[in-house]
Amino acid sequence: MRNAVIRSTGSYAPTQVLRNSYFDKLLGEDVSTWLETNLRIKERRWCGEEESTADLCIESGRRALQNAGLEASDLDLIIIGTDTPEHISPSTASAVQYRLEAKNAGAFDLNAACSSFVAGLDVASRYIRSSTEFSNILVIGGYAMSKYLDKRDKKTVTLFADGAGAVLLSSVEGGDRGFLGAKQHTEGQFHEWMGIYAGGTHYPISQEALTRGDHYLKFTRKFPKKKNAETWTRMILSLCNQLSIEPDDVDHYFMTQININSIYETMDNLNIERHKAYTIMERYAYTGAACIPMALDDAAKNGKLKENDLIFLITSGGGLSFAAAAFRY
């Protein structure tokens, strides 16, 4: 059977490092203690003035290609998962395809908010499984949310950060490795609870919108405290049932890096040792669609992933959008 395997990974974060002490001074109060105690965040990376989502994606993509021993011309398709695009139109993927010189690749963006990367990985895997036209697909999660942060808003400015992570999927015939399955879940009743609400056709950019700050990322309501943990638990159990395995059979879990307590609660719900959940939030804070591929690459670089390890990628994002995928690494 034709399948999609993770051939390589790559990641990139901007060079500008902002430690928690920066925000203590910015906000005029001690936020470091709460961030480190409750979220484990100690520092994060933000883009420079001239950096954008495409820059981050290109560098992570180059690293994934280098790690795979491939040229950009070997790619058949590029999928960019992001909700901080280079432009409203055209796609970020078009800029990445051009600047990578991936002359043989189609390219498009996929926006499922912070679930965009895992959703893109699901789509790419099914492309490879279903058609011999696709042998190498580069899936990148890119995030430059610092461009949309109100520096007076303590709830967002201390949490969100920038980065990109890439996975290069290649086709194989036979064997046990590769894509095993995926789940998608959306709860659209929450679509007005968090987002960037100016700039689209519903709320075009206007002086009034700028005055209200609608071009910044906003939490308009507080989400149910256990929403992520409860939904992730259900999706993991559903995926395990689909694969006829138990949650503890999974070697590594890579979850959305927004709240360490949600990750721990999910692991506790499933009676799994917490160390099976790989985290990088202490160094990079929350990088949205990029956090899971960045964590995956970090684990690969540090020798934590072994061939044939069973991995689950579990994510959530605004909308609310949830996605889960299983791979034999």
CB atoms within 10 A of CB 70: 17
What is the pTM for the complete model shown?
Answer: 0.94
Residue ranges, comma separated, of all CATH 3.40.47.10 domains in the chain are 2-175, 179-328
Hey, is 77 helix, strand or coil?
strand
Per-residue pLDDT of the chain (329 residues; tens, 9 = 90+): 899 999 999 999 999 999 999 999 999 999 999 999 888 999 999 999 999 999 999 999 999 999 999 999 999 999 999 999 999 999 999 999 999 999 999 999 999 999 999 999 999 999 999 999 999 999 999 999 999 999 989 889 999 999 999 999 999 998 899 999 999 999 999 998 888 888 888 778 777 767 666 788 888 788 888 999 999 999 999 999 999 999 999 999 999 998 899 999 999 999 999 999 999 999 999 999 999 999 999 999 999 999 999 999 999 999 999 999 999 99
Cα–Cα dist 150/162, whole Å: 15
Cβ burial, residue 184 (10 Å; 0-12/13-18/19+): middle
State both tokens at 86. 């280079």
Which 3 state secondary structure label does DSSP give 151?
Answer: coil
CATH of 2-175, one of 3.40.50.300, 3.40.50.720, 3.40.47.10, 3.90.230.10: 3.40.47.10
CB 71 within 8 A of CB 41: no
Whole-angstrom distance, CA of residue 138 vs CA of residue 65: 9
Question: Looking at domain 179-328, what is its CATH homologous superfamily?
Answer: Thiolase/Chalcone synthase (3.40.47.10)
Alpha-carbon distance of 210 to 277, in angstroms, equals 40
One-letter amino acid at 194 equals: M
Q: How far apart are CA 81 and CA 78, in angstroms?
A: 10
Place of tokens 């679930």: 115
By DSSP bridging, strand 218-219 and strand 194-195 are antiparallel
Q: Are the C-beta atoms of residues 141 and 116 closer than 8 Å to each other?
A: yes
